Amino acid sequence: MPIVYAVGFAFRSIGPLFCGALYYLIYMHFECYMFTISAILMKRVGTEFALIWTGIGLTLCYNICFNHLMAMLLKPGSPADLVKIENLRNEVKQR
């Protein structure tokens, strides 16, 4: 029986480990972009264009992290939520 608890704990700990690994991978890509690619961009295409692409990179990084975080924290589409949404829709419709 103790092996069942060990396997259960291992499977429950895989999720947070994958989340941490994803954020670490995003951090490594962000660091490489900011310190390596942006330095090359400034030399090749100029400061203004490099700043534009840096802004685009920051926006993408923020969007990926925010969407993933919200997908982890929120519980979308549960049956209780669907009942609440349907009741709210009916109330708004009858006004």
The Cα 59–Cα 54 span in angstroms is 9
pLDDT for the residue numbered 62: 92
- Please say if the pLDDT value at position 14 is more than 80: yes
The pTM assigned to this predicted structure is 0.63
- Count of CB atoms situated within 10 Å of the CB of 41: 19
More confident residue, 5 or 75: 5
Tens digits of per-residue pLDDT, 15-69?
Answer: 889 989 999 999 999 899 888 988 898 899 998 998 898 899 889 889 998 998 8
User: What is the residue-wise DSSP string for the chain?
Assistant: -HHHHHHHHHHHHHHHHHHHHHHHHHHHHHHHIIIIIHHHHHHHH-HHHHHHHHHHHHHHHHHHHHHHHHHHH--TT-HHHHHHHHHHHHHHHT-
For all residues of the chain together, what is the average pLDDT? 87
The Cα 41–Cα 57 span in angstroms is 13
